[in-house]
Structure 1
Amino acid sequence: MTSPERGAVGMAAWAPPAGRPPLSSRMLRATWRGLPARRYRAGWEPGLVVPGADGSPLLTDHYFPRAEGDFPTLLVRSPYGRGLPWSPLFGLLLAEQGFHVVLQSCRGTGGSGGAFDLWRNEAADGHATVAWLRGQPWFTGVLGTIGPSYLGYVQWALALDPPPELKAMVVQVGLHDPHALFHTDGAPHLENALAVAVGMTHQHRGTVPFLKATLRLQRRLRDIIGARPLRGAHAAALGGEPPWLDGVMSHPDPEDPYWDGASLAEPAERLRVPTALITGWHDVLADQTLAQYGRLRRAGCPASLLVGPWTHTSALGQGWPRVFTESLTWLRAHLHADPTDLRPAPVRVHLGGHGTWHDLPDWPPPATPTTWHAAPDRRLTRHAPTGSAPLASFRYDPADPTPSLGGPLLSRTAGPQDNGPLESRADVLTFTGPPLTEPVEILGPVTARVSISTDTGHAHVFTRLCDVDPQGRSVNVCDGLGLLRATAHSPTRLTVPMSSTAHRFAAGHRIRWQLSAAAHPRYARHPGTHHTPLDATTLRPVHLTLHTDSTLTLPYGVGVGEGGVDR
């Protein structure tokens, strides 16, 4: 395909430069297993200067197949630098598969000019880069985008007004709503926000500075999360205050004008560019990915969804062979017109607890909402308890907040973990069902409805679904947090979304519902007063009481009866 806007110089006039990809990238490439076979040797043209929307020089590396012929182009824009791991993951691997790859440092990062301003410049700079591409002799007018996390955000930014050349997108563990990355119901995502700040501030400077900054944060994390007030306590550990961090942390309300234009949910509601979405059940951005998939499907946009047993980072580690193969298949289908390996079902999910993959026609699939009730003696039952007596009480002390353990984090402790140490604490309630006589599969969103009262009216409620094996090991499946807005001593009904999952509880296992008032420092601790977690200087213990009309709703797979899954 030839674009009418390619410029006066034709493909035949372009001679590939002699440069080979960086040695570090080639060495890392040699260690990977399970990837598709290489089709071409890759070349490298580093340090190109592309003018941004404001004229800032955007440093750009060009990877390409060392072969004659026309090849489509992939645009990868990153605030994390152009070295490891992005050079081998995207530049080298995709050039070997028959793509020109344009790997660019976002404004103000990786040597590019201007100032980095979280989310605000990506649409304009993306379009400026496409305009530059039109003048390159090797650009055929067939363009795709690919990348994870913030590299997904820049793809959605380009899709606000997609250029005519854009024929496919692959958004891996991707971001589209910055507010939801940093807050849940008024609670700052403290630990993840600090990790994001380290990545945004240091990763584009190289591997060694990034590792040093990460280790410095780990050493000082306890002092940061225990500070009163919390605001500004992280500056020394991060080597200075990232100019955007206080802003995103101090505006918890998504309707605040501060967030105007930040969310890029809207492009998916009218997009026609074929889009592949990839996430993991313990990815910090899983809910965002699932929401975007629903929008794309409702818009009639060609879309696929892959959800694996991954965290945000392990999708690019242990999950990379499957993630890369899935991405490559989508790009070949829509940029090379080769749909040979496309799977017939648009959705593929990993079934936790069973270790198998399921192909589905849509997400979420049809399900039967099934209610489990918290009952006396810490039981979880399908039958609603009678009476209105309180079920259990506990004391939350913000000076010793319930710690976070596993789940969607950006740390090494993310994902499924043994919750035994957590559940042995006095400030954690658990309600456990009987051993299952048959397997139970749940597919879709999980929700808790909590009837709770406090002596202050100020608290968070953290609720988690766990799978308990016959030996008593309790492993987290999914969870959520809500803010209690109540009158002291009056029971309040609070609905808490607990994300989505695909999980199989095996016969002999038990379903457990876990409740507490914190998951710290994943969420900044509630001070127990009317003050915000960011500005509180006084901490007040809170007594919480759970009442009998508290329920956990699970989406049983179609065909699931009272005892389990029908096969």
Structure 2
Amino acid sequence: MTDRLAGWYLALYPEKCSYTAQAVRIPMKDGIDLAADHYQPTNMPDSSEQAPLLLIQTCYGRGEAMAIFNARLYAARGYQVLFVSSRGTFGSAGRFDPGRDEQSVSRDIVKWMRAQPWYPGSFATAGASYLGYAQWALLHDPPEDCVAAVIPTGLHDLSRQSWGTGSLLLQRIKWSDLIVHQEDPSVGFLARLWSLATTTRSDGLKKVLEGLPLLDNVKGYFAGRAPWIEDMMTRSDLDDPYWAPTQHEIALERVNIPILLFNGWNDLYSRQVQTFDAYRRLKERGCDVGLTVGSWGHVETSGMKTLPSILSFLDSYVARSQVPDPLLARIFVTGAQEWREMASWPPATVPLTAYLHGDGTLGPRGPSEDIATSSFTYNPADPTPTVEPRTDDNGILAKRKDILVYDNSPLETDLEVMGQPVINLEHSSDIPFVDIVVRLSELDPITGASHSITEVCQALDPNRAAAPLRLELCDCAHRFRKGMSIRLTVAGGSSPMYARNLGMEGNRVLGSTFRPSRHTISYSEGLSYLTLPISEEYRD
């Protein structure tokens, strides 16, 4: 009954069959074994062949809530599912070391799977978030019998997620807190998972993340329960050998199977842009790849809004029970509040340039500026707060003096931005150790509400040359409506999304002292400007 209600709620097609679930142990080459459940459809109309098989690996357990969305709904629609717990989690032996074992573990699972009497000769992979990362780890060396993959909001490089901006993503600490407590009795796992996926804030960790040195505070909080935490926090160099087992970008060069990717504009993790990077590279190589991006957060993207499309893809490319539709880019355009289908993302665009002016306006380049520069001071003792996707950033930032704000005149016609905006800044600072955060928003000039659309955060190289900055913001698809204004903000931090830049030499997680930084933007040479990719087809 639970399965049927879940299928109805998610608008899935009716169940085809019953199924059985059998607990199994999967041996690894190092002598430990993993806990897994094998789901097998029963009472199928045509039982002459083995049912198609999905491999799904999870670090979040195989209990009812996880099993419904990752195994049972598939099994009731004719798929075998091998649902495997990661090393050191939920009955699997060994130690959990985030991201570092999935590649070798995946190979051992596939080797064991092939020897089972129920193996149909090929398989596909599925699963979102960390479950998606496990798929990329497997595809680092793609098995010949893996025929398709569905990867909602999945990363292929944990080093980039952690330190790719040059600033430590503090969600990694919040996620570690979820992992170490998820098997504790009465822990409220689903509530913790929801909090992790929907907000950067954490009341329980607030004091931990505010104290200095950050590493000492975090280690004291975990008290040895997250043995990976020190390496993750201190190894800021992406070329450090520590990160090599977590870097699977090579999969984008090797894989050649149908792949369906999902992301959400409101997903906190989509700011890491890896789904878009994967799509672009696979598309460049001519791979059969689809992309769906909705106005969703992490949970909706992981399955609550995507399972009907996932099943349609699997039925086409794995079960082969229907003729496959072409794999397109299916994109929800915010502002317009409508879906678009296109052959590829981004669509054809034309650049629109808007210059930053010293009076706080954004618009066409004019004569020499009366105001040649603007400055703000970033203070690590009172860091600029994070603005979460699609929230009113004016309410958060209006009274702060540590940001610069630029608005254009109200638009006389609709304007659609499709792709990655680019910001060029003639920027300088009084100390070399600084971050820069640039955010694009839509401002309602009447109400004063300003809603975040996309952003970029980057720690600047302390040895950088004296040249204008060029930064790409994350992808977006947004219609700025007639009468609205485009707003651009420039700041020196985003807390608690990222660890504060203390303004001191060395790794910021080790520092116990800090100093403010003074940022200056220059306008006189016309080198500070925003370039927007404007849709050709839908520009009104």
TM-score (norm 2): 0.91
1:152 aligned partner: 132
Assess, with a 3 A threshold, how the Cα gap between structure 1 residues 487 and 67 changes in structure 2: closer, same or farther.
closer
Q: Does 1:98 align with 2:81?
A: no
| Matches of 2:376 and 2:327, distance apart in 1 | 47
Q: Name the residue aligned to 1:3.
A: none
* Secondary structure, counterpart of 1:465 in structure 2: strand
| 1:401 alignment counterpart | 383
In 1: Cα distance, 2:184 partner to 2:124 partner: 27
- Would the alpha carbon gap of residues 486 and 179 (structure 1) be closer, same or farther in structure 2, given more than 3 Å must change? closer
Other-structure match for 1:38? 15
Q: What is residue 332 of structure 1 aligned with on the other side?
A: 315
Matching residue of 1:558: 536
Partner of 1:537: 512
Give the corresponding residue for 2:208.
224
Q: Secondary structure at the match of 1:148?
A: coil
Tell me which amino acid in the other structure corresponds to 2:344.
D
The partner residue of 1:129 within 91, 95, 109 is 109
2:360 corresponds to 1:383: no
Distance 1:213 1:358, change over 3 A: closer
Alpha-carbon spacing, 1:65–1:239, altered in 2? closer, same or farther (3 Å): farther
| Candidates 293, 296, 315, aligned match of 1:310 | 296
Of 246, 265, 282, which residue of structure 1 is paired with 2:249? 265
Distance 1:370 1:242 in 2: 48
- 8 Å Cα contact 2:133-2:154 kept in structure 1: yes
Q: CA deviation at 1:364?
A: 2.0
Deviation per residue, 1:158-181 (Å, 9 max, x gap): 212222321110011101010111
Aligned mates of 1:401, 1:256 — CA distance in 2: 29
Helix, strand or coil: the match of 2:202? helix
> After superposition, what is the alpha-carbon deviation per residue over 1:261-319, rounded to whole angstroms, capped at 9, x for unaligned?
32111112121121111111233146101111112122222111111112223323xx6
Q: Which amino acid aligns with 1:320?
A: M
Residue 420 of structure 1 is matched in structure 2 by 395
- Provide the secondary structure at the position in 1 that maps to 2:126: strand
1:200 pairs, out of 148, 166, 179, with 179
The two structures, once aligned, show a CA RMSD in angstroms of: 2.5
Q: How does 1:14-33 map to 2 (within 5 A)?
A: 26=3, 29=6, 32-33=9-10
State the match for 1:244 in structure 2: 228
Query: Conserved in 2, the CA contact under 8 Å of 1:388 and 1:547?
Result: no
Equivalent position to 1:354, from 332, 336, 350: 336
- Give the alignment's TM-score, normalised by structure 1: 0.87
SS, match of residue 315 in structure 1:
helix
Deviation digits for residues 58-87 of structure 1, max 9, x if unmatched? Answer: 101112222241310100011111114320
1 CA distance for matches of 2:327 and 2:131?
Answer: 26
Deviations 1:478-521 (A, max 9, x none): 00112234689x96522222111111101111100011111111
Aligned AA for 1:48?
V
Structure 2 CA distance, aligned partners of 1:140 and 1:303? 24
Further displaced range: 103-112 or 527-536: 527-536
- Aligned partner of residue 495 in structure 2, secondary structure: coil
State the secondary structure of the residue aligned to 1:243: coil
Q: Contact 1:198/1:213 (CA < 8 Å) preserved in 2?
A: no
* Correspondence for 2:460 among 484, 494, 499: 484
User: How far apart are the structure 2 equivalents of 1:482 and 1:121?
Assistant: 29
Aligned with 2:61 (options 81, 90, 101): 81
Compare 246-255 and 516-525 and name the one that shifted more.
246-255
* Structure 2 counterpart SS, 1:130: helix
CA shift, 1:213, in A, is 7.0
Task: Give unpaired runs (5+ residues) of structure 2.
Answer: none
The superposition leaves residues 306-353 of structure 1 with CA deviations (integer Å, 9 ceiling, x where unpaired) of 11112223323xx624x101111111111122344x444511011011
User: What's the CA shift string for 1:427-480, capped at 9, x where partnerless?
Assistant: 121100111111111111122112122222321111100011242210000001
Find the residue that maps to 2:261 and give its secondary structure: strand
Distance 1:258 1:500 in 2: 30
Tell me the secondary structure at the aligned position of residue 512 of structure 2: coil
The amino acid across from 1:556 in the alignment is I
Larger CA deviation: 304-313 vs 427-436: 304-313
* 1:363-512 pair list within 5 angstroms: 363-383=345-365, 386-387=368-369, 389-407=371-389, 415-469=390-444, 470-485=446-461, 492-512=467-487
For 1:546 and 1:141, the matched residues in 2 are separated by 61
Q: Give aligned pairs, total.
A: 525
Correspondence for 2:143: 163
Query: In structure 1, how many angstroms separate the alpha carbons of the residues matched to 2:467 and 2:183?
Result: 47
SS at match of 1:147: coil
1:56 aligns with 2:32: yes
Contact kept, 8 Å, 1:144 with 1:166, in 2: the verdict is: yes
Q: Distance in 2 between matches of 1:207 and 1:263?
A: 35
Paired residues of 1:188 and 1:249 also in contact (CA < 8 A) = yes
SS in structure 2 of the partner of residue 163 of structure 1: coil
Task: After TM superposition, give the deviation of residue 236 of structure 1 in Å.
Answer: 4.6
What letter is aligned with 1:429? Answer: L
* Structure 2 letter corresponding to 1:475: H
TM-aligned CA deviation for residue 131 of structure 1: 2.1
2:276 and 2:388 mapped to 1: Cα distance?
Answer: 21
In the alignment, structure 1 residue 278 sits paired with structure 2 residue 262:
yes
**Closer/same/farther in 2, CA of residues 212 and 151 from structure 1, 3 Å limit:** closer
Q: 2:460 and 2:503 mapped to 1: Cα distance?
A: 11
Is the CA contact (8 Å cut-off) linking 1:365 and 1:443 kept in structure 2?
A: yes
Pair 1:210-2:189 in alignment: yes
* Distance across 1 between alignment mates of 2:265 and 2:357: 29
Give the secondary-structure state (helix, strand or coil) at the position aligned to 2:295: strand
User: What is the Cα deviation at residue 392 of structure 1?
Assistant: 1.7
What amino acid maps onto 1:157 in structure 2? A
527, 530, 549: which one aligns with 2:502: 527
Identical positions, percent = 31
Q: Which AA in structure 2 matches 1:445?
A: Q
Aligned partner letter, 1:178: L
1:420–1:445 CA distance, 2 compared to 1 (3 A): same
Q: 1:78 to 1:194 in 2, by over 3 A?
A: same
Please state how far the C-alpha of 1:385 moved relative to its aligned partner: 5.3
Contact 1:52–1:107 (CA<8 Å) still a contact in 2? no
Paired residues of 2:391 and 2:451 also in contact (CA < 8 A): yes
